[in-house]
Chains A and B, each alone.
Chain A
Amino acid sequence: MAKITENTRIEVREIVLTFFAEECEADKSQINDNTSIIKDLDGDSLMFLELIEIFKKKYNLDIELKTIGKYAVKHPVETIGQLIEMQMLIIEHENRLLELEK
């Protein structure tokens, strides 16, 4: 179980915002926690997977996609803020993510 620091939070946020700004050709300063990934940015579900790959490499995470999938079904992500929170949980709990359900 990784320890999440304020620096981690800032870093994750920066990666997510930069990723969406570049991929969706959006103004980064206009993206905030309430920005809808689909409605406001015209994003897609594949972007979530691409971000997971980025974080898996960056933080050397031990997590299977199916674990994230099972969690995401019960906790759907619609906004940037929700996505950042989920990425934080993934980094913190890795393959034990589903234990949060118990």
Chain B
Amino acid sequence: MAGKVVITGMGIVSSLGYDLETFWKNLAGGKSGVKKISLFDASSCATRIAAEVPQEFEEFSRTLVKKRAAGQMTRVSRMCLVAAKQAVTLSGLDFEKEDKTRCAVIMGVVNTGNSSVEKDTSPQNTVFKSMTNSMPAWISLEYQLLGPNFAINTACASSAYAIAIGMQMIKNNMMDIVIAGGADSIINPEEINGFNALYALSVANDPPEAASRPFTSTRDGFVIGEGAGVLILESEEHALKRNAPVHCELAGYALTSEGYNIMAPMKDGAGMAATIEKAIENSGVAKSEVGYINAHGTSTELNDRYETMAIKRVFGEQAYHIPVSSSKSMIGHTIGAAGAIEGIITILSLKNNILTPTINYTDPDPDLDLDYVPNVSRNKEIEVALSNSFGFGGHNATLVFRKYHGN
């Protein structure tokens, strides 16, 4: 087994910005990206709000994505490629100097966003826009990489799975570099009506920015977000050899299935707890080192209850002293991209010693009694942080990040 796996680059496209700096500033400032839906006329939908990527992104993406390729991509695929290019730039990688057979791309993809809101689809680009493997393929094509490129679909845990599998490929010495992440948007009438039929979405449309309120007594479902998050995973040895910027260590992970229900998490968070427990064990960190948890925190009745119970089950009394926050209170649930975007938030928290808040935390649920970093961000020095992702179908993932102090 190879040594440590480190993160040397990150890129993001979200409702709160499409560059890391803007995104972090807004997030640490407790800003909400949730607004009335503008991508289509949602007036007949029970849910009429979402955290959309700003429309200006389209113009910005033209500076990074060639016109010909852009026409063959969905809006979501363009988000993915832009995030990947940002991550590669930040990492300082020059693939012409790399062994391209040892560079892989793994993306968490639930769908490509080729829905009724997608524009300018011609017969010639329909297939390319629909291919769920297109996102990793476009990234691989951009840099002419020769290692494997593929997509993983484990619902809301997809991009966390991508990161975990990427880490394992480096650990097993199969790859030097893995570009891992995901992109998603389900802001379209078909998906919204479908999730509304499952009572999964918030219908607290007014005001939009107050709709996503994880861990409160008034939470009524998740708010849809969209975007992309991409990370550069690298073996420590390789990163140091090329003097790469190291943002943190990816210390470990756990991937589990609940074998329980297509939608609901296992009762009392038993499956979630098993995942967190295994991730800690896999990473070799002590529970006492865990200083922050970026929760899945969807703002649904069951997730927030069970995730809270899971954290208590794993950490016991210590759970009350670990800050737990939900980024979804600000950027909504980005589905297939959530694991990567929230992984990046967790890394930035470690780097900057700032914990981002759970906003809209105005009516605490008396049954949920952890420290949810209410409403405002907090300065805190942390060494180890977890990021949870739990998906429909019982796909669970926990990633463990550790501050990097050099080798």
Contact = CB atoms under 8 A, between A and B. Distances in A.
B68 A24 contact: yes
Contacts of A42: 66, 68
Interface in B23-82: 66-68
A43 to B, nearest CB: 7
Nearest to A46: B124
A25 B124 contact: no
A30 to B, nearest CB: 16
A44 interface: yes
Interface residues of A, number: 11
B68 A23 contact: yes
A47 to B, nearest CB: 8
A22 B66 CA distance: 11
A49 interface: yes
A42 B66 CA distance: 10
B124 A44 contact: no
Contact of A49 (B67, B68, B124): B124
B122 to A, nearest CB: 9
A6 to B, nearest CB: 31
A50 B68 contact: no
Interface in B58-117: 66-68
A42 B142 CA distance: 11
A40 B66 CA distance: 14
A69 B68 CA distance: 23
A50 B66 contact: no
A43 B124 contact: no
Interface in B116-145: 124
Nearest to A44: B68
Nearest to A50: B124
Contacts of B124: 46, 49-50
Nearest to B62: A25
A25 B66 CA distance: 8
Interface string A26-48: 00000000000000001110110
A44 B67 CA distance: 13
Contacts of B66: 24-25, 42
A49 B124 CA distance: 9
A49 B67 CA distance: 18
A81 to B, nearest CB: 21
A42 B68 CA distance: 9
B263 to A, nearest CB: 40
Contacts of A46: 124
Contact of B67 (A23, A47, A50): A23
Given A23-B67, A46-B124, 14 more contacts: A22-B67, A23-B68, A24-B67, A24-B68, A25-B66, A25-B67, A25-B68, A42-B66, A42-B68, A43-B68, A44-B68, A47-B68, A49-B124, A50-B124
Interface of A: 22-25, 42-44, 46-47, 49-50
17 contacts: A22-B67, A23-B67, A23-B68, A24-B66, A24-B67, A24-B68, A25-B66, A25-B67, A25-B68, A42-B66, A42-B68, A43-B68, A44-B68, A46-B124, A47-B68, A49-B124, A50-B124
Q: What 10 A-B pairs have minimum CB-CB distances, sorted nearest first?
A: A23-B68, A25-B67, A50-B124, A24-B68, A46-B124, A25-B66, A23-B67, A42-B66, A49-B124, A44-B68
